[in-house]
């Protein structure tokens, strides 16, 4: 993924978090009207919750929308749900992504004081940077974070659009482009009930599922470089494995793993062995479930 | 929300927390005599507890009362429960809002020492700032906070009106305008029993419920810009969904979500799709409950 | 409450914790011989435990006794339980109050090192300040505090009268006027058993209950300014509500809430509405219990 | 308790912890051969565990032994269990007492680094001070402390007599007079099982019980100043209350509370009222048990 | 293990973590096509999960692959699963190994600020060093680590190949050679379910089991220096003990313990005694299980 | 225990941890071939686990072996299990002992940064000091430590012999003499299962039990100075008490307590009283078990 480069030493590159954005249109194939819904919400600055299982493309979708909503602001005409022709955007919106986890605190998002040159200096956290830069801020799996983080986002998601920075004794009013997007995976039931109604009812909700077989095959071809026929076989495998879900598989196979299989095949590994290491073993340690999936693999790649 | 501006860089604005106040009268439609009750309590500096479900307008009400109680002090005549004619206030009271969470400590509210230029310097927390500025201090969902915070507010809520700043070895006597307001949501039962009687019996309690259909429709029109008829349909939807509560819905739909639906419709999304993403999916992940709400949506927006 | 003022900025006032004391005799109506018992204990420097429910006046009593025990030391004649005639005290004893909570540590009470001007400087905590100043130190709801605090008070409550300041490697011998007073609420059963016998058996214990109806009415008149008749009605309400205790009310109504009701009535709110917000809703969220209390209110204020 | 004074400001006094010792012989009446056993253990530098209920005089006993074992070292002749005639000691051994609690860590005992004048400086903890000064170190209720403390004392209690100061990368060999004494109260069963065998089997164990009635009466006379007859009545009360133990009283009354009662009587409070606040209410909140004890009080002080 | 030396004092040697690599080919005997699978994944930069029991050689395998994948980059020809003939590599890839544990945090991996010379200086953690150096980063038993670590590795394992350094407000793009390898032991069931699907589905998975008897004997000879016959007996012992697994042994014997036995025999200890201390007692404290294993030992080494 | 002295103030002595070693041969009577087994493991640098109950002499054994393995390195001839004649060692190996506990972290073992003179300076922990000095490092009751410590010792116990110092970004290669020795007490069952197989299978295991009666009597004579006959009686007491183990005694009496009894007898205390305080009360608080042991005491010392 390309981005505005800010520093390079040796082989690696360093960017400021709030400068990160795509330079070319990210590859994304819409499944339904999710692009129009997000665009309407963005115009109204209504916060958005993306709901769906692992590896279904939520992160890629946000990258794509940050590109679509870029400056000069794309005008979405009423009644004409777009199909990609709004190509006049010249710069993507910056996108600040924070993968949440159970140790993530409010200070991690807002910022903290740091000693520098004998003085304490305030360092903005990623949320503050997004609020100032007018970026889209994507809090991935927000229910995992500590409770003080959800409280922080409340005044950012109502008419106030402010971020309280209590340690500095200040309030920060969001820049114009700022929008908050969060995601969660309803498959993790325990986490689900942790998203309190006072937080949840601040977002509209867009549901994501696995792409249909034809679209998934196109994605596999694009991402792994293998031929269409093998890609279609892998997509068929994906569909069948997801139907095994009620047989002890806690979550279906992601498109990502199917792409891995494609890339190993491209590298010269046999299709059945590639599916074994990239799909069967990667999905489960249960020997019975492994056997069921291997039967599906054998049926497809005889 | 406008406020006394103190700093601007680029697109965003920064305010001192204790300077935040409305410049124009916040939009608020009273449901009962809650305005008179709060005004009487404010005159007597009796701390106030606001009780009610998510999204019912408690935060907006406090903003409105801070505006109404502004300097020069509004005289509420005995026996004449006001209806808004006390418009002679020229400046709203400052309003310091703290959204409480389970990691919020007493130091977060009172302040802490910070190293600056080789010396430690005391930085006032938001509660101390409110006590000094004579602001209304609104502790939202106070039962969520750590126990040391409730203890802090005890001497602020009796005849002493003092804030102990133990780390500084000092007592702070509240400025004249200071009033403590707290809220909680009785729907969260576990939290409820955490508010000890020694804390609870320091507040009078004002109950909030969802607004009646006619008032809610007016609010939706004002906040989303859609026509009255659609607003009335959305208000009807709200009422019906709240009656579904005993069918597995842990909390009724908030006015906020109905406004979101209105704004998506205003943006060109069809009414049923707008209600699906802003109400149905936003409220619940339970497929059965989703189906029940969708039937209500279909009946209203055929 | 007036006190030796040490600093003033704008509207608020700042005092050193160990300088805080009453300038006029606090209003306190004795119920039994609690004044004589405390005076005898103070003469012998026997630590005192105050036991009783929420809002029964324990804090006010300690303020009153700090005023009574003031310098020059009041001589309590043997056998003549005083009734207030020892008015020759010219200055109240300083009173250091610490509201305990589950995060309160020994360091919070004793003190800690702080960086100042490139050097660490010891800052005395409130207990150390009280020990040095010869103040009465009142630890409110001490069982809530962390265990290391109870251990700290042990050598202060026996013949040694010393405070170990282990982080400084020093022992502090208490000044002459110092006395330790603690309180707890036996209604919180879980807390009760946390007060270990090795701590508990270091205090004599004075029990507090709600004042009889006649005394409570006098207090309400004094604190709210309403007429005697209304005050008597409110005191009657208090008595009846406390008798409802076995009907699901975890704790009886405090005198404080009755005073609140009186002050709202004084402000022009109708008596029944005032009792609703200051007593009924303030006491409980249980709809059945609310209804029982409202019936009592209706019977008294027809 | 007098001690080597090191600093005085105003009314209070400050001592270095390791300088604290008695200047006059502490008042202690031996019950059995505990004085001889401790002296023999001290001569052999065998660590000692004192076991017994609250308020039975364990702390006073250690103070007494520190005085008895003072320099020049008292020679205890074999076979002649002493009775106090070894009065030739001119200076008591210093006594470092640490009341243990569940937050007490190894660093609290050994020491820590502290920033001072721009440099970190090591500050010895009380155990290190005792090891260096050759003091008796008394860890009161050691089972309450964090586990890392018990590990610290292991090498101090075997042939090595060393204290590992791991943060400094050093080992400290104990000075000649050093002896470790710990205590615990077997009445706290949960604590008991926390003293691991690897720790416990490093101490000889001396058991303490309440003193017989005659000795207890002498102690009450000495400590409260009341006449012998009242003291004997109080001692009788003590004995009888301890026999009530199986009737719901978790621990018997301590001598300390009986002394409190005596001092209140000396101050002019009636005997029955004094026993009520110093014994009945101080011991228990259980109304039935209170009634049982009050009957005993009434029988003795008719 | 030799490595690029960076500092030597006295007898020991110090290296920078990201400079560590083998100078000679590590001894590794392939069991199946694991070398080809890993090489294909490395060419595609697909992250790899190694799954298998304790002591089965996962660490050694990663060392071996780091040597094999060294610069100039080994070209693995499609369709020709290599057998070691790609000897043209002149320098092994650096290998950064982090043994994960339940206290390992994201900061431990990414880095932290440190005060140096009056200023805070950022110190890169081992993961950051690996990302910058283009090393293979091996997170051993990653499920043991704190949850914030798994979140860190997400953007390193998809198309972004970036490491968010949130405390610095920067994103780091991985150098070309970087690959993430993780391991876990499916025998620890509790840990297993902690690896969330959103993490797990980012890796292909290679399973490891104990080597067959013939290969294990070769390894024992190579590592302990004993004769082939004894090595074969020890390998037979290994096989038989692993078959005892269902008789109460939670995990089979590792090759490492068999090598230990061989080395003790080489040192002159009798075979049966060597097997007792290196295998029987090392594996279990259960006396019955010990007896079963000793019978196997006796049967083999009569 | 004598040691290389590095600092002396007043009565006590301070050593660097990694300089500590015996100057004269520690008193140790071998029970079986444990000396030969340890010597063989040391020659091969195979890590050693010592398993056995409290007070059985594990610590003394490691001290003895550090003396035996001292430089110039003692050559243990194959096939000739030594009996002490390898007296040509002139200097004992240094021995770094760390008593583990549940709060012991990896940083405690490896080291940490410390501010000194305005700069942070790295301070090596005891494990790092042992690794650099080529000392034997003895981690006593290692299962008690935090999990991050066990992970630290993994690369020190395989072919790598390295210590990762992640906070410094460095790897430390062990000096030649370094050997890791750990111990645990299988009597603490809960702890046992905490030693993961991935750790456990890195050590050979030597079991320790209580010494036979004749050897124990010799030890008692040597350590307490009493006559052989009394020592034999005490050893007999030890044997009999250990047989009482199934009667409610969680762990048998240690040799150390028997020595304490001997020393008290030597000091003039009667044998039965000495056994009571040093054995009976020291072992248990259970009155029934106490009575059983006292019967054994009476039978032996009539």
Å between E264 CA and nearest CA of chain F: 6
Q: How confident is the model at residue D8 (pLDDT cuts 50, 70, 90)?
A: low
Q: Model confidence over D69-105: pLDDT tens digits?
A: 985 544 444 444 444 444 454 578 899 999 888 778 8
Q: How confident is the model at residue F1 (pLDDT cuts 50, 70, 90)?
A: very low
The predicted structure's pLDDT at residue A89: 47
pLDDT higher than 90, residue C19: no
The predicted structure's pLDDT at residue A81: 47
Q: What is the pLDDT along chain B (302 residues), one digit of tens a residue?
A: 333 445 555 677 888 888 888 778 899 999 999 999 999 999 999 999 999 888 788 999 999 999 999 855 444 444 444 444 444 545 788 999 998 887 788 888 999 887 665 667 788 999 999 999 999 999 998 888 877 788 889 999 988 899 998 888 889 999 989 999 999 887 654 444 467 788 889 999 999 989 999 999 999 999 999 999 999 999 999 999 998 876 667 778 999 999 999 999 999 999 999 999 999 999 988 888 899 999 999 999 97
Compare E192 and D302 and report the one with higher pLDDT: D302
Mutate to test the interface with B, among A49, A201, A202 (most CBs of B within 10 A): A201
3-state secondary structure of D55: coil
Q: How confident is the model at residue C81 (pLDDT cuts 50, 70, 90)?
A: very low
Query: Do A276 and A261 touch, CB atoms closer than 8 A?
Result: no
Residue with tokens 């130091």: B107
Q: How confident is the model at residue D36 (pLDDT cuts 50, 70, 90)?
A: very high
* Helical packing angle, D287-300 and D228-243, nearest 10°: 140
Contact E79 A104 (CB under 8 A): no
Alpha-carbon distance of F144 to F103, in angstroms, equals 8
Percent over 90 (pLDDT), chain C: 53
Nearest Cα residue in chain B from C184: B198
The predicted structure's pLDDT at residue D16: 87
Contact B285 A33 (CB under 8 A): no
- Could you say which of E160, E170, E204 has the minimum Cβ distance to residue A1? E160
- Could you say which of B12, B16, B267 has the minimum Cβ distance to residue A132? B12
Q: Which of A80-94, C141-155, C198-212, D226-240 has the least mean pLDDT?
A: A80-94
Alpha-carbon distance of D259 to C44, in angstroms, equals 11
Percent over 90 (pLDDT), chain F: 54
Tell me which H or E stretch contains E235: helix E228-243
3-state secondary structure of F299: helix
Alpha-carbon distance of B113 to B129, in angstroms, equals 15
Compare D41 and F78 and report the one with higher pLDDT: D41
3-state secondary structure of C211: coil
The predicted structure's pLDDT at residue B67: 92
Which alpha helices (H) appear in chain A, and where do they start and end?
34-44, 58-68, 106-110, 126-133, 147-153, 189-192, 197-200, 213-224, 228-243, 255-266, 271-275, 281-283, 287-300
Q: Model confidence over F110-121: pLDDT tens digits?
A: 998 876 656 677
3-state secondary structure of B45: coil
The predicted structure's pLDDT at residue B251: 77
Percent over 90 (pLDDT), chain E: 54
The predicted structure's pLDDT at residue C88: 53
* CA A17 to each of CA A137, B131, E169, E205, F215: distance values in angstroms, whole numbers, following the listed order: 11, 37, 5, 32, 71
pLDDT higher than 90, residue A169: no
Which alpha helices (H) appear in chain C, and where do they start and end?
34-43, 58-68, 106-110, 126-133, 147-153, 189-192, 197-200, 213-224, 228-243, 255-266, 271-275, 281-283, 287-300
Q: What average pLDDT does the segment D266-273 reach?
A: 95
Candidates B144, B180, B192, B139; CA nearest to C284 is B192
Contact C167 D278 (CB under 8 A): no
Alpha-carbon distance of E11 to D302, in angstroms, equals 85
* CA F183 to each of CA B59, D147, F26, F195: distance values in angstroms, whole numbers, following the listed order: 61, 17, 19, 11
Query: Do C135 and C94 touch, CB atoms closer than 8 A?
Result: yes
The predicted structure's pLDDT at residue C8: 57
Q: What average pLDDT does the segment D276-302 reach?
A: 92
Strands of the sheet with D136-140, listed across from one edge: D95-99, D136-140, D179-184, D48-51, D204-207
Q: How confident is the model at residue A126 (pLDDT cuts 50, 70, 90)?
A: very high
Residues 6+ apart with CB under 8 A from E301: E233, E271, E272, E275
Residue with tokens 């279609």: A232
Sign of CA dihedral F196, F197, F203, F208: positive
Candidates B3, B5, B200; CA nearest to B97 is B3
* Helical packing angle, A255-266 and A213-224, nearest 10°: 50
Number of residues assigned to chain D: 302
Q: How confident is the model at residue F141 (pLDDT cuts 50, 70, 90)?
A: confident
The predicted structure's pLDDT at residue A120: 72
Q: How confident is the model at residue F179 (pLDDT cuts 50, 70, 90)?
A: very high
- Could you say which of F37, F105, F170 has the minimum Cβ distance to residue E103? F105
3-state secondary structure of D48: strand
3-state secondary structure of A106: helix
What is the rounded end-to-end Cα distance, in angstroms, of chain B? 37
Compare E231 and A74 and report the one with higher pLDDT: E231
pLDDT higher than 60, residue C5: no
Contact F281 D206 (CB under 8 A): yes
Tokens of A153: 């986002």
Q: Share the mean pLDDT of chain A.
A: 84
Alpha-carbon distance of A204 to A63, in angstroms, equals 19
Mutate to test the interface with C, among B33, B46, B52, B119 (most CBs of C within 10 A): B46
Q: What average pLDDT does the segment C139-155 reach?
A: 85
pLDDT higher than 60, residue D188: no
Strands F95-99 and F136-140, sheet pairing:
parallel
Q: How confident is the model at residue A79 (pLDDT cuts 50, 70, 90)?
A: very low
Q: Which of A49-63, B206-220, D50-64, D179-193 has the least mean pLDDT?
A: D179-193
Compare C133 and A22 and report the one with higher pLDDT: C133
Compare A84 and A281 and report the one with higher pLDDT: A281
The predicted structure's pLDDT at residue E1: 35
Query: Do D111 and D165 touch, CB atoms closer than 8 A?
Result: yes
Tokens of F162: 């390295």
Residue with tokens 């908050």: A180
Query: Do D101 and C151 touch, CB atoms closer than 8 A?
Result: yes
Q: Model confidence over C166-184: pLDDT tens digits?
A: 888 889 999 989 999 999 8
Mutate to test the interface with A, among B22, B66, B267, B270 (most CBs of A within 10 A): B267
Contacts of C3 in chain B (CB under 8 A): 171, 173
Look at phi and psi of residue B119 and say left if phi exceeds 0, alpha if psi is from -120 to 50, else beta.
Answer: beta
Percent over 90 (pLDDT), chain D: 53
The predicted structure's pLDDT at residue C131: 95
Residues 6+ apart with CB under 8 A from A63: A1, A22, A26, A28, A95
Q: How confident is the model at residue A141 (pLDDT cuts 50, 70, 90)?
A: confident
Q: How confident is the model at residue C133 (pLDDT cuts 50, 70, 90)?
A: very high
For F86, phi then psi, to 5°, come to -80, 55
Tokens of C162: 């010393």
Å between F20 CA and nearest CA of chain E: 18
pLDDT higher than 80, residue C4: no
Residues 6+ apart with CB under 8 A from D93: D21, D66, D67, D69, D70, D71, D134, D135, D136, D177
Sign of CA dihedral F181, F186, F191, F196: positive
DSSP E strands in chain B: the ranges are 7-9, 12-16, 48-51, 95-99, 111-116, 119-124, 136-140, 162-165, 170-173, 179-184, 204-207
Backbone Cα Rg of chain C: 21
Candidates E219, E246, E147, E144; CA nearest to E185 is E144
- Could you say which of A15, A20, A277 has the minimum Cβ distance to residue E37? A277
The predicted structure's pLDDT at residue A263: 97
Q: Share the mean pLDDT of chain D.
A: 84
pLDDT higher than 60, residue D6: no
Residue with tokens 């970004």: F169
- Could you say which of F131, F176, F186 has the minimum Cβ distance to residue E285? F186
Å between E103 CA and nearest CA of chain F: 6
The predicted structure's pLDDT at residue F84: 45
The predicted structure's pLDDT at residue E78: 45
The number of angstroms, rounded, from the C-alpha of D216 to the middle of its chain's C-alpha atoms is 17
Residues 6+ apart with CB under 8 A from F5: F13, F15
| Cis ω for the linkage preceding F72 (within 30 of 0) | yes
Q: Model confidence over F202-258: pLDDT tens digits?
A: 999 999 989 999 999 999 999 999 999 999 999 999 999 998 876 667 778 999 999
Q: What average pLDDT does the segment A46-73 reach?
A: 87
Q: Which of B75-84, E94-103, F116-125, F148-157 has the least mean pLDDT?
A: B75-84
Å between A88 CA and nearest CA of chain B: 21
Alpha-carbon distance of F257 to D200, in angstroms, equals 10
Candidates A95, A94, A92, A88; CA nearest to A74 is A88
CB pairs under 8 A between A and B: 161
Q: Share the mean pLDDT of chain F.
A: 84
Alpha-carbon distance of B110 to E35, in angstroms, equals 61
Tokens of B175: 């400025």
3-state secondary structure of A227: coil
Mutate to test the interface with B, among A121, A169, A175, A190 (most CBs of B within 10 A): A169
Alpha-carbon distance of D90 to D71, in angstroms, equals 6
Contact D170 F16 (CB under 8 A): yes
pLDDT higher than 70, residue D277: yes
For residues D13-47, one letter each, b for 16 or more C-beta atoms within 10 angstroms of the residue's C-beta and e for the rest, the string is: bbbbbbbbbbeeebebebbebbbbbbbbbbbbebb
- Write the DSSP assignment of C224-257 as a string of letters: H---HHHHHHHHHHHHHHHHGGGGT-SSPPPHHH
Alpha-carbon distance of E12 to C112, in angstroms, equals 41
ipTM computed for the complex: 0.85
3-state secondary structure of D261: helix
Query: Do B241 and B282 touch, CB atoms closer than 8 A?
Result: no
Tokens of F30: 């071998």
Query: Do D159 and F36 touch, CB atoms closer than 8 A?
Result: no
pLDDT higher than 90, residue D20: no
């Amino acid at each position: 993924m390309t981005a505005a480069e800010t520093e390079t030493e040796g082989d690696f590159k360093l960017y400021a978090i709030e400068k990160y954005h795509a330079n070319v249109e990210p590859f994304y194939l819409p499944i339904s009207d999710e692009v129009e819904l997000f665009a309407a919400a963005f115009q109204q600055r209504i916060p958005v919750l993306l709901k769906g299982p692992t590896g279904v493309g939520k992160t890629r979708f946000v990258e794509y929308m940050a590109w679509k909503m870029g400056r000069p602001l794309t005008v979405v005409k009423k009644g004409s749900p777009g199909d990609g022709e709004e190509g006049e955007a010249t710069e993507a919106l910056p996108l600040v992504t924070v993968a949440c986890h159970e140790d993530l605190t409010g200070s991690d998002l807002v910022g903290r004081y740091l000693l520098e040159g004998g003085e304490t200096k305030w360092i903005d956290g990623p949320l503050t940077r997004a609020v100032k830069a007018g970026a889209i801020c994507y809090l991935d799996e927000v229910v995992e974070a500590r409770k003080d983080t959800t409280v922080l986002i409340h005044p950012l998601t109502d008419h106030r659009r402010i971020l309280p920075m209590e340690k500095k004794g200040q309030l920060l009013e969001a820049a114009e482009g700022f929008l908050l997007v969060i995601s969660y995976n309803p498959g993790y039931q325990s986490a689900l009930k942790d998203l309190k109604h006072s937080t949840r009812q601040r977002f509209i909700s867009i549901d994501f599922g696995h792409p249909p077989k034809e679209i998934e095959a196109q994605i596999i071809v694009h991402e792994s470089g293998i031929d269409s026929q093998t890609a279609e076989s892998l997509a068929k495998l994906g569909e069948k494995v997801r139907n095994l879900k009620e047989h002890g598989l806690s979550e279906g196979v992601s498109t990502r793993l199917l792409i891995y299989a494609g890339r190993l095949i491209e590298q010269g590994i046999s299709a059945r062995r590639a599916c074994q290491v990239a799909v069967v073993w990667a999905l489960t340690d249960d020997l019975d479930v492994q056997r069921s999936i291997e039967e599906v693999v054998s049926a497809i790649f005889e």
